[in-house]
Amino acid sequence: MSNALQQIAAVTSTNLRNMSQRAASSIVALVGIAGVVMVLIGVLSIAEGFRAVLTQSGAEDVAIVLRNGATDEMGSGLGQSQTRIIADAKDIARDADGPIASPELYVVVDVPLLRTGTTANVPLRGVGPQASKLRQGFRIVEGRTFTPGTFEVIVGRGASGQFAGLTVGSRLHWGNTDWTVVGIFQDRGSVAESEVWTDATVLQGVYNRGPTYQSMRVKLTSANALQSFKDALTADPRLNVRLFTERQYYEEQSRTLVALIRTIGSVIAILMGLGAVFAALNTMYSAVAARTREIATLRALGFGSAPVVISVLAEALLIGLVGGLIGMAISYFAFNGLRASTMNFASFSQITFAFTVTGAVLLQGLIYALALGFIGGLLPSLRAAKLPIATGLREL
């Protein structure tokens, strides 16, 4: 065992010291792997950012009530009398202003994207007076909140940064009505920052919705009160509703798009990875060809096949490791925190988010880089190990 390890160490160290003689081909393979890792991490950071913006929007002690059978707000509808019955439930938290509950509805309005000028769908949400108390990190960061009963809106910080005309003082025309932006708000980067808010009663009138809403958002007395609250609503014959915690609702909303982004990203990475593997194969075959006589001489002196295989694989894995680390570093500084927007297929509207490069995403990129290096070095290493000694010694 000791002799085998000494052989492996000797052959591998010699091979790595001679890498400078193959610098050009090694750099080509390294750059290819780094590029693949950058693309993979970039796509995965989109999925992670989208998932994060939705999951961090949810709280366990806030519930969303929809019409029974609806999976999202778009397909839901609640009458005004139903929202009053829900607000009277004993498990809803209260303060000096009454139940902490907000009957809400929204419409999708057209707003140009800042970076392209193309039209995008943005949610215009009508909310009740208690809406801000149902968002954990809500605060006005510029201007003021809207005055109930007026055609005023406040805009999420994410939407203001991604769409044109959503700044304090701007006037916009939606639904045959002119609206004035009077404030910008933030909410810990949650999905609410992708929306425009106004008074629900005003929005009902402008869009002829009558006394109806799409959802009811309520703050529970505690997270443990959910089951009691659910039992009370489902047992009431005047209601036909279903409910989720905020966290459950947003996790369900994010599942489809996150899976889609991850699948597309994996396919792109695999296709690009094929190119990187060919570059690595070319590099390692060149390395084996340049060392044919050396390898044959070592075999003639009693060195086994395993040290030869491991030495070639070690070089390929080193190229993969360095390429992966370079790709990881560039991806982190280029993508992490970069703000963008994409379509939320659950609501058919844009949602703003930040690319999120997590440790898990970086680790996936590094593992993929090492896998590319291993695959690129495997066939050349086996060829080197199987090369007949006599044939190798005749090479010039």
pLDDT in tens, 351-368: 677 788 888 889 988 998
pLDDT per position as a tens digit, 247-301: 888 877 777 777 777 787 778 777 777 777 776 667 666 666 656 666 666 666 5
- Final residue in a domain of this structure, among 187, 210, 239: 239
> Residue 391: is its pLDDT beyond 80?
no
Residues 277 and 228 reside in one and the same domain = no
Co-location of 115 and 91 in the same domain: yes
Strands 241-245, 339-344: parallel, antiparallel or unpaired by DSSP?
unpaired
Mean pLDDT of the region 303-317: 71
pLDDT for the residue numbered 396:
45
Residues 28 and 131 in one domain: no
pLDDT of residue 1: 47
Q: Is residue 27 part of a domain?
A: yes
- Tell me, yes or no, whether 260 and 376 share the same domain: yes
- Residues 324 and 364 grouped into a single domain: yes
| Other CB atoms within 10 A of residue 297 CB | 14
User: Using an 8 Å Cβ cutoff, are 350 and 122 in contact?
Assistant: yes
Q: Where a domain ends, among 205, 239, 273?
A: 239
- Answer yes or no: are the C-beta atoms of 361 and 87 closer than 8 Å: no
Tell me, what DSSP letter sits at residue 147?
Answer: P
Same domain? For 123 and 209 the reply is yes
| Alpha-carbon distance values, 361 to 115, 159, 251, 263, 324 (Å) | 27, 26, 19, 14, 12
pTM over 0.75: no
Residue 99 forms part of a structural domain: yes
pLDDT, tens digit (0-9, with 9 covering 90-100), for 179-234: 999 999 998 888 888 899 999 999 999 999 889 999 999 999 998 999 999 999 98
- Could you tell me if residue 361 is inside a domain? yes
The parent domain of residue 163 ranges over 69-239
What b/e sequence results for 329-351 when a residue is b if at least 16 CB atoms lie within 10 Å of its CB, and e otherwise? ebbbeebbeeebbeebebbebbb
pLDDT at 304 over 70: no
Residue of higher predicted confidence among 341 and 310 = 310
Alpha helices in 88-221 (DSSP H): 157-162, 200-206
Q: Is residue 96 located within the same domain as residue 220?
A: yes
- Does a structural domain hold residue 387? yes
Q: Confirm whether 247 is domain-assigned.
A: no
From residue 372, give the alpha-carbon distance in Å to each of 24, 210, 309, 327, 377.
18, 60, 16, 13, 9
> In terms of domains, do 22 and 74 share one?
no
> Are 225 and 185 part of one and the same domain?
yes
Classify residue 170: in a domain, yes or no. yes
Number of domains in the chain: 2
Same domain, 17 and 91: no
280 and 145 housed in the same domain: no
Most confident by average pLDDT, 9-23, 87-101, 380-394: 87-101
Distance from C-alpha of 195 to C-alpha of 353, rounded to nearest angstrom: 12
b/e 220-229 (16+ beta carbons within 10 angstroms → b): beeeebbeeb
Q: Kindly state whether residue 60 falls inside one of the protein's structural domains.
A: no
**Which position has the token pair 């392209």?**
116
- End of a domain among 197, 217, 239? 239
Tokens 């190990």, residue? Answer: 385
Task: Check: CB of residue 308 under 8 Å from CB of residue 284.
Answer: no
Rg (CA), the chain: 30
Q: Is the residue at 246 inside a domain?
A: no
Residues 221 and 353 in one domain: no
Sign (positive/negative) of CA torsion 293, 298, 303, 306?
negative
pLDDT in tens, 16-41: 566 666 666 677 778 888 888 888 88
